Every structure is written in structure tokens, then in C-alpha cells.
């Protein structure tokens, strides 16, 4: 018997195979299902549903559309894994690599920025004490500044360690790619989406608000983050 500990429990989402997997690209909340006029099931931003249009936008996503997109991508990767066994490992390492490189640069920049600010704050902290010691600053202002800088120091140190952790996560290994290949290889074919299948292969799906393409067509950007390998093209 297959036991999937990652399976999300949700009574409301019982008929939604994507329950707990789909997130709003703008606010980060989940997308939940809703029905319009009985027939067409769709997903919408939960924050929008709960807090209204000032909190986020609708993120109207037809269930069938999301289902189709995800099914096609999984079928595509399954075929690739079965047909190009010798090349797929390198391809997956490279494919995810572009995305991870962008992420890495972003985190490195953030670490640099926070480190620089932390050094400045450290200096200001010392200077505040010197100013107080030689009477250029009264006690009340000294206490106020001291607290302010101390809080910022803690906040920055926190940020730095968080970014460093994320930076480590972007270093995909061959081992991770193999894990994902093993997971998907178990299937000889994928003809329908089920919650256990999705939870086994996919970490999360991010859906962005509809935008108008350069040629005037409405487009919904859907990003699929697979387990172990992240976003692959």
C-alpha cells in the first residue's frame, strides 16, 4: 500500500486534487476552489475571498485549465524520462540550473546588502555610545537610538541567516535530481491527476494574475515547482 504522508487533509478540498498545492503568485496565500453557476469549477485567491479586493486580486483560474496544464507537463516529463534516459539527468540539472542561478544571484545580493547595512548599524551603535559618553547626546535620546539600532542589528542578522539558508537550498545536487527521476519513473503513464500523484511529484504550483500578452491575448502564468528539482523548463 502506498502511504503518502504529504497528502493534505481538507474536507472542503476533497474534490480538488490540487488542495494545498496552489499558491497565489502575488500574495502567497493558497488558491481555493469555487463554482460559478454550478458547472465550471475555478480557483481563486483565498486572501481575495476572505479579505476582499483591496487585499489581493481574484486570480480567476479555470480548474480545467490548471488541470490540463499540469497534466501536460507531467506527461511531457514522464515521456522525457522514459525516452531519453541517458540525457535526462544532465538536462534536468541544467534546466533547473538557470532558474537557480537567478535565485542565487538574488540571495547573494540580499546578503551583501544586509551585511553592509549591518556594518553601518554596528558603527552607528558605537558612535551613539561615544556621543553619549562625551555629552553630545542626552540619556533619553541615547536610549532611544540604542534600542533602535539594537533591533535593527537583530533583524539584519536574522535576515542574513535566512538568505544564507535559501542560498544553500538553491544548490541542486545530482542526488536530488535522481530522486525525482525515480519518483516519476514509477509511472508507466499518467492519464489523470490525483492528489497522491501531485503531492508525490510537485512541491507547489504558483499562479499569477492574468496579464495581457504583447499580442493582446490574456495569459495566466503558471509555475510548477517539482519536488527535489524545483522549477524546470
Smallest gap from Cβ 22 to Zn ion, in A, equals 11
Q: Are 170 and 111 in contact (CB under 8 A)?
A: no
Q: CA 178 to CA 171: how far, in whole Å?
A: 14
Please report whether residue 206 would count as binding Zn ion according to CB under 5 A.
no
Segment lying near Zn ion (by CB under 5 A), choices 1-9, 18-26, 125-133, 178-186: 18-26
The residues near 138 (Cβ < 8 Å, ≥ 6 apart) are 132
Residue 70's nearest CA partner among 181, 194, 211 is 194
Which is closer to Zn ion, CB of 59 or CB of 100? Answer: 59
Which is closer to Zn ion, CB of 56 or CB of 145? Answer: 56
Please report whether residue 201 would count as binding Zn ion according to CB under 5 A.
no
Segment lying near Zn ion (by CB under 5 A), choices 47-55, 74-82, 89-97, 193-201: 47-55
Smallest gap from Cβ 46 to Zn ion, in A, equals 7
- What does the DSSP 8-state code read for residue 30? B
List Cα–Cα distances, 108 to 70, 112, 113, 152, 163, in angstroms. Answer: 32, 6, 9, 20, 8
Smallest gap from Cβ 43 to Zn ion, in A, equals 11
Q: CA 222 to CA 139: how far, in whole Å?
A: 55
Which is closer to Zn ion, CB of 160 or CB of 207? Answer: 207
Please report whether residue 43 would count as binding Zn ion according to CB under 5 A.
no
Please report whether residue 45 would count as binding Zn ion according to CB under 5 A.
yes
Other beta carbons less than 10 A from residue 222's beta carbon: 17
Which is closer to Zn ion, CB of 56 or CB of 184? Answer: 56
- What does the DSSP 8-state code read for residue 224? E
Please report whether residue 47 would count as binding Zn ion according to CB under 5 A.
yes
Contact footprint for Zn ion (CB under 5 A): 24, 26-27, 45, 47, 56
Amino acid at each position: 500500500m502506498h502511504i503518502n504522508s504529504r497528502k493534505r487533509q481538507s474536507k472542503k478540498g476533497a474534490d480538488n486534487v490540487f488542495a494545498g498545492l496552489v499558491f497565489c503568485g502575488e500574495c502567497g496565500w493558497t488558491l481555493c476552489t469555487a463554482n460559478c453557476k454550478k458547472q465550471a469549477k475555478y480557483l481563486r485567491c483565498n486572501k481575495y475571498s476572505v479579505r476582499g479586493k483591496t487585499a489581493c486580486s481574484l486570480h480567476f483560474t479555470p480548474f480545467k485549465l490548471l488541470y490540463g496544464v499540469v497534466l501536460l507537463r507531467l506527461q511531457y516529463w514522464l515521456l522525457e524520462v522514459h525516452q531519453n534516459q541517458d540525457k535526462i539527468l544532465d538536462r534536468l540539472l541544467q534546466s533547473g540550473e538557470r532558474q537557480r542561478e537567478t535565485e542565487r544571484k538574488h540571495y547573494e545580493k540580499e546578503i551583501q546588502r544586509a551585511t553592509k547595512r549591518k556594518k553601518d548599524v554596528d558603527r552607528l551603535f558605537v558612535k551613539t555610545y561615544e556621543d553619549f559618553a562625551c555629552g553630545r547626546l542626552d540619556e533619553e535620546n541615547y536610549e532611544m537610538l540604542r534600542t533602535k539600532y539594537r533591533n535593527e542589528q537583530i533583524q539584519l542578522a536574522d535576515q542574513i541567516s535566512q538568505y544564507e539558508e535559501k542560498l544553500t537550498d538553491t544548490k541542486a545536487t545530482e542526488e536530488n535530481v535522481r530522486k525525482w527521476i525515480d519518483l516519476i519513473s514509477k509511472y508507466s503513464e499518467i492519464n489523470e491527476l490525483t492528489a497522491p500523484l501531485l503531492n508525490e511529484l510537485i512541491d507547489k504550483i504558483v499562479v499569477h494574475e492574468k496579464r495581457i500578452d504583447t499580442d493582446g491575448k490574456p495569459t495566466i502564468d503558471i509555475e510548477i515547482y517539482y519536488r527535489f528539482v524545483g522549477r524546470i523548463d
